[in-house]
Amino acid sequence: MSFRALILVLAFMLSGIAHSSPVDVVPRDTVYSGDGTFFEPGLGACGNTNTASDFIVAVGHGIFDSFPGATANPNNNPICGRKLIATHGGRSVTVEVQDRCAGCAGAADLDFTEAGFEQLASLDVGRLKNVEWQFV
């Protein structure tokens, strides 16, 4: 094999690797908007057990299920472990995706632990409208 042919083969192989990474295809500047609620966590869709004091979030099933690289096994979804920053009413919180919100009506809705929700509003509020968020 000639040197030129070897370079072309390597370039082809590397281009496939670069484009197959889900992290590379999710723009960090995309801002989502949805409702924010809170839940009592346990064993989440990502395969980890969390508590109400953890700063984690369940993402609406529409985004969770269609996240680049998602498979039938939610434990292997590349969204798991991704951090996002959510903002509402001039307050913000950084949380880690550890669950899928099956009960969320909107694809971009977020279901926070109590600790995460309380960084945005009192638990007495119950539901926040127009929570803006993006991956960090």
pLDDT, averaged per 10 consecutive residues of the chain (136 residues), comes to 47 43 60 97 97 97 95 96 97 98 96 98 97 97
| Residue 14 belongs to some domain of the structure | no
Does residue 135 contact residue 108 with C-beta atoms inside 8 Å? no
- For residue 113, the domain's CATH number is 2.40.40.10
Model pLDDT, residue 28:
73
Domain count across the chain: 1
Q: At 6, is the secondary structure helix, strand, or coil? A: helix
Residue 40, both tokens: 């009592």
| Residue 3 belongs to some domain of the structure | no
| Residue 21 belongs to some domain of the structure | no
Q: At 115, is the secondary structure helix, strand, or coil? A: helix
| Residue 6 belongs to some domain of the structure | no
Rounded to a whole number, what is the distance in angstroms from the first to the last CA of the chain? Answer: 44
Q: Tell me the residue range of the domain where 78 lies.
A: 28-135
| Residue 131 belongs to some domain of the structure | yes
Model pLDDT, residue 4:
53
| Residue 2 belongs to some domain of the structure | no
Model pLDDT, residue 14:
45
| Residue 110 belongs to some domain of the structure | yes
Q: Taking the model in full, what pTM does it have?
A: 0.79
| Residue 19 belongs to some domain of the structure | no
Model pLDDT, residue 115:
98
How many whole angstroms from its chain centre is CA 51?
18
